[in-house]
């Protein structure tokens, strides 16, 4: 993905705002599933909590509901702490329906991962968590409050110390530190090593995102304060990798 593609995605997302219905009755998530609780339970058994992602673009095609359900069940069977579902339709080939299907097929917490720019997008599908990108979501405080009022747990994604400071001023209790710079799309695990300890010391539940491909990467992120790790590309390419990354199986 290039920065130009990122701009196109944001332009498309902005354009879709005009098609969103006016706010009626907001959704209210029934029986929300708690990601930190699930992660703590796994860690008590010596397993690294992995949020496994359903990322259709890696397969270069959209997924049928049956395929989404199968992947979600496999992730749960392999010990994931949660499931991230990309719902952006054009570049990532996802859909809100994929999040709905994954939540129905699994008992794990479901994170909806998209470019949320408008409160009305929160009502497109029921999930347990929703990604809010600090660099894009505006006003961030308002979107965090809107998510919480629906029973959605906001996972605020940051890449810089300034964005982390902004996240700390909201009511969010989960922060994701993205090792990918969205302005250049370069990935460096050094990003989490710089910000992870700061986020951890603030009492947040901290998720490491992007660039995690090996068990060594997982341990490196945990050493810097990661409570959970979000992994997408490598799991879609190699489904059996989840148990290796989490430490539940030998490489």
pLDDT over threshold 80, residue 40 = yes
CA torsion sign for 126, 212, 81, 173 is: negative
Mean pLDDT across the stretch 86-95?
Answer: 94
Active-site entry in 124, 126, 157, 163: 157
- Residue 161 annotated to the active site: no
Active-site entry in 55, 98, 106, 126: 55
Active-site entry in 48, 84, 106, 210: 210
What is the reported pTM? 0.93
Quick check: bond before 23 cis, omega within 30?
Answer: no
- Residue 178 annotated to the active site: yes
Active-site entry in 76, 153, 209, 222: 209
- Residue 157 annotated to the active site: yes
Active-site entry in 48, 95, 113, 153: 113
Q: Is the domain defined by 35-246 classed in CATH 3.40.50.720?
A: no
- Residue 209 annotated to the active site: yes
Q: Report pLDDT digits (tens) over 105-151.
A: 999 999 999 999 999 999 999 999 999 999 999 899 999 999 999 99
CA terminus-to-terminus distance, the chain: 29
**Percent share of the chain, pLDDT over 70:** 95
Rounded to 5°, the CA angle 45-206-68 comes to: 75
Residue listed under structure tokens 């579902």: 85
**Percent share of the chain, pLDDT over 90:** 83
What single DSSP character describes residue 167?
H
Residue 22 binned pLDDT confidence (cut-offs 50, 70, 90) = low
């Amino acid at each position: 993905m290039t920065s130009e593609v990122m701009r196109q995605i944001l332009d498309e997302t902005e354009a879709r705002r005009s098609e969103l219905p006016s706010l009626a009755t907001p959704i209210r998530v029934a029986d929300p599933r708690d990601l930190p609780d699930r992660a703590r339970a796994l860690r008590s058994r010596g397993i690294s909590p992995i949020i496994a992602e359903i990322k259709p673009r890696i397969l270069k095609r959209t997924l049928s509901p049956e395929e989404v359900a199968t992947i979600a069940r496999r992730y749960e069977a392999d010990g994931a702490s949660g499931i991230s579902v990309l719902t952006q339709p054009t570049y990532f080939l996802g859909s809100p329906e994929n999040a709905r299907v994954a939540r129905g097929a699994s008992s794990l917490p479901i994170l909806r991962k998209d470019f949320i720019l408008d409160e009305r997008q929160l009502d497109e599908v029921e999930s347990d968590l929703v990604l809010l990108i600090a660099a894009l979501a505006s006003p961030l405080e308002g979107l965090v409050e809107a998510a919480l009022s629906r029973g959605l747990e906001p996972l605020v994604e940051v890449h810089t110390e300034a964005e982390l400071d902004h996240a700390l001023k909201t009511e969010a209790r989960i922060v994701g530190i993205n090792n990918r710079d969205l302005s250049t799309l370069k990935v460096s695990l050094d990003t989490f090593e710089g910000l992870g300890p700061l986020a951890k010391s603030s009492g947040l539940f901290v998720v490491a995102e992007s660039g995690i491909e090996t068990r060594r990467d997982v341990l490196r992120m945990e050493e810097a304060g990661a409570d959970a790790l979000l992994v997408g590309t490598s799991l879609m390419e190699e489904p059996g990798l989840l148990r290796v990354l989490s430490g539940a199986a030998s490489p």
